[in-house]
Amino acid sequence: MKVLKFGGTSMANAASIRKVAHIINSDPSARYIVVSAPGKRESSDVKVTDLLYECIDERDRSGVCDAALAKVISRFGDIIEGLGLELDLTPEFNVIRDQINGGAGKDYASSRGEFLSGIVTAKLLGARFVDAGDVIRFDMEGNFDSETTNCLVAERVLGNERVVVPGFYGKMPNGRIKTFSRGGSDVTGAIIARGVNAEVYENWTDVDGFMTVDPRIQKNPQIIEMLTYKELRELSYMGANVLHPESIFPVRKADIPINIRNTFNPSAPGTMIVPTKKFMRGEYKRTDRTITGIAGKTDFAAVYVEKSLMNSELGFARRLLKILERHNILLEHLPSGIDTMTVVIDAAAQRKEEISAVLREIKEELSPSSIEFYEGIALIAVVGHGMNRKTGTSARVFGALAAANVNIRMIDQGSSELNIIIGVENADYQKAIRAIYAEFEGGNGN
């Protein structure tokens, strides 16, 4: 028994929704369906969710939402006509118009794309529609209430029928709509999968799966056949954005595997994301490989602090990190030596005044022998459970970079030996990734 979630590209128009219906109807185990709002039909198009945000802006400017809502009505009209459905959404649009003109906020407005998409999909499939607001709960502070939600899903969704649930939103105790802030429909799919205790959570999108490296940097990279939740977190954190790890925490908690699939190429097996502990116990098998993937991001900065006898100064690291905390600066990495410590931060996320204040306070409070600030650093993560089983992996990574004439500014290897983080100049970022990829035989990981 499976939960299938379809993203905005899959729901963009009647033709793509027909593909969705074919995928669902071809699989008897596809019982629970989660859908997004219609996305872009082509690159110049506007997502339905963005049109609904425009409704709020139009109302705030003119007092009523007419023009933007008319575009939403037209989009769904085209979809319904293209699918040949006998379905009139006029009552729903009247409620939406009244709610927005009456002062409803952005969460309500933006959720209506998924709501309407769910109604259309349920009609097409002859399935039961369950409003996400009836099963997904937030508390009055806007925090997701996982246990109440899990009980409601088991009570109101689980059954022998095929069910369609809109993604992206739920309700607070006062009945107010609340949306998830990141990967909303992915979160909903994971919640439903946990609540019905699915065997697999299939996440259908517009790519064949996770790629070993960013295809914008390396042409025709390999698809990763399988990765663990830990590898997913490492790669996603460093920029691989097919699926954000925070969006699938319910299935991770329940040890339910995820299969990333392509709506437009359903014969492709996609990428399996499996529970780490089960993989490490040998319950899942994949092609032997040294690395699983390579990912990275640019525009980091490093604060290099040196002080004689730093290692014998009690509380030095704590005081340094306390300065970052006071300025709400998140620590990315903390490589250190006997008398040196480097703090790596996301420079793009910080104001220059805050960084200047941090440097000043480090000088005043820690009295370092020297302090240097480097900008324009890119971080690259080489990730894979196989690295700790094969001698010379680090040597191959560094040798590839040396051969490509890439200067390494920083090295940070996790204690789990799951990843190696390399800092290079922004200008060398793409060259470095291509060099590492080439060293490991184009992503085959050997």
161-202 confidence digits (pLDDT tens): 999 999 999 999 999 999 998 678 899 999 999 999 999 999
Summarize the confidence of residues 55-65 as an average pLDDT: 95
Where residue 443 falls among pLDDT bands split at 50, 70, 90? Answer: very low
Q: What is the mean pLDDT of the chain?
A: 92
Distance CA 244, CA 284 (A): 22
What whole-number percentage of the chain has pLDDT above 70?
Answer: 97
Distance CA 48, CA 410 (A): 43
Confirm if 37 and 168 have CB atoms less than 8 A apart. Answer: yes
Could you list the beta-strand ranges (E) of 340-395: 340-346, 370-383
With 60 as the cut, is the pLDDT of residue 442 above it?
A: no
Q: How far apart are CA 274 and CA 272, in angstroms?
A: 6
Residue 244 pLDDT exceeds 80: no
Give mean pLDDT, residues 72-89: 97
Q: How many CA atoms lie within 13 A of 326 on its CB side?
A: 13
Q: What is the pLDDT of residue 446?
A: 58
Over the stretch 393-441, which tens digit does the pLDDT of each residue have?
889 999 999 999 999 998 887 666 788 999 999 999 999 999 999 998 6
Mean pLDDT on 280-305: 90
Helix (H, G, I), strand (E, B) or coil at 37: coil
Give the rounded percent of residues in the chain with a pLDDT score beyond 90.
76
Helical residues (DSSP H) of 126-206, grouped into ranges: 146-156, 184-195
Question: pLDDT at position 414, please?
Answer: 63
Longest dimension (CA), the chain: 78
Q: What are phi and psi of 35, to 5 degrees?
A: -125, 150
pLDDT at 352 over 90: no
Which residue blocks in 196-346 are alpha helix, DSSP H? 229-237, 249-254, 276-280, 316-326
Residue 415: its pLDDT value, please? 61
Q: What's this model's pTM, rounded to 2 decimal places?
A: 0.87
Residue 265's pLDDT is 96
How, if at all, do strands 163-166 and 419-425 pair? Answer: unpaired
Q: What is the mean pLDDT of residues 315-320?
A: 94
Residue type, 99: Q
For residue 41, the SS3 value is: coil
Report how far residue 345's alpha carbon sits from residue 375's, in angstroms, rounded to the nearest whole number.
10
Instruction: Tell how many helices (H) and how many strands (E) occur in the chain.
Output: 14, 15
pLDDT band at residue 94 under the 50/70/90 scheme: very high
